[in-house]
Amino acid sequence: MNIFRLAGDLSHLAAIIILLLKIWKTRSCAGISGKSQILFALVFTTRYLDLLTSFISLYNTFMKVVYIGCAYATVYLIYMKFKATYDGNHDTFRVEFLVVPVGGLAFLVNHDFSPLEILWTFSIYLESVAILPQLFLISKTGEAETITTHYLFCLGVYRALYLFNWIWRFYFEGFFDMIAIVAGVVQTILYCDFFYLYVTKVLKGKKLSLPA
C-alpha cells in the first residue's frame, strides 16, 4: 500500500458516495446514466469474486464489500426507487457494443485461462469503458449538473492515481500487471476531455454545458 493507492481508493469511494448522496438528497437521478451504473455493478461483481476464495486484508475485504454494496444501491435507486426521474430517453448508449467485445477480449488476452481470472480480466477491461454511457448521455443533453461533474472528476482522479501507484510499485516492488496498466491508461485517457472541461468551466463556477 502506498499513498497513491490509498488516495486512489478513497477518491473512488468518494465518487461512489457523492453519486449515491446526490440521488438520495435530490430524490432524482436525472442526468445519471443507469447503464453506466449497471456496468459498474457488473464490474465489481465479476472482479471481487475472490472475496469468496481468498482473504487479503480487512481493508481489502471492507472496501470490496462497500463498493459492491454501493453499486447495487445506486442501480436500485435509479431503476426502482427514483425510476420516474430516470433520463431513459437520453441514456441510449448500446452497452452490448461494450460488453460483447470486452468479453471476447477477456477470453483472448488474460493472465490465466481460468474462470475467476477471465472474469477478473473482463472486469478490468469493462471498467475502462464503463463510463462511456455516462459521457454519451452528457454529450446528448449538452450539460451536466455540477455535482455530477464532481462525481466524474473523483472517478477520473482515482484512475490517474492508480497509474502513479503502478509506477511506484514497478520501481519499488518490481510489480506490474500489464492488463491492469493498459486498461488503466485507456480509462484515464477517456477522462482527459472531461478533465479539461472541469478545470476550465466547473472550477471557475460555471455549469458544465457543451456547445450545441
Partner 1 sequence: CHRTKGKDEL
Binding mask 148-167 for partner 1 (x = CB under 8 A): --------------x--x--
Q: Is 122 in the site for partner 1 (CB under 8 A)?
A: no
Report the residue from 45, 177, 195, 201 that binds partner 1 according to the rule CB under 8 A: 177
Is the Cβ of residue 8 or residue 31 nearer to partner 1 in the bound state? 8
Residue 50 touches partner 1, criterion: CB under 8 A: yes
Interface stretch with partner 1, choices 61-69, 75-83, 135-143, 194-202 (CB under 8 A): 61-69
Question: Hey, CA dihedral for 164, 188, 14, 69, is it positive or negative?
Answer: negative
C-alpha grid cell, residue 136: 454519451
* Distance of alpha carbon 161 from alpha carbon 157, whole angstroms: 6
Select the residue interacting with partner 1 from 175, 189, 192, 199 (CB under 8 A). 175
Contact pattern from residue 8 through residue 27 relative to partner 1, giving x for each residue in contact according to CB under 8 A and a dash for the rest: -x--x---------------
Cell numbers 471481487 correspond to: 48
φ, ψ of residue 144 in degrees (nearest 5):
-145, 145
DSSP-derived secondary structure letter, 112:
S
Closest CA to 152 of 138, 170, 169: 138
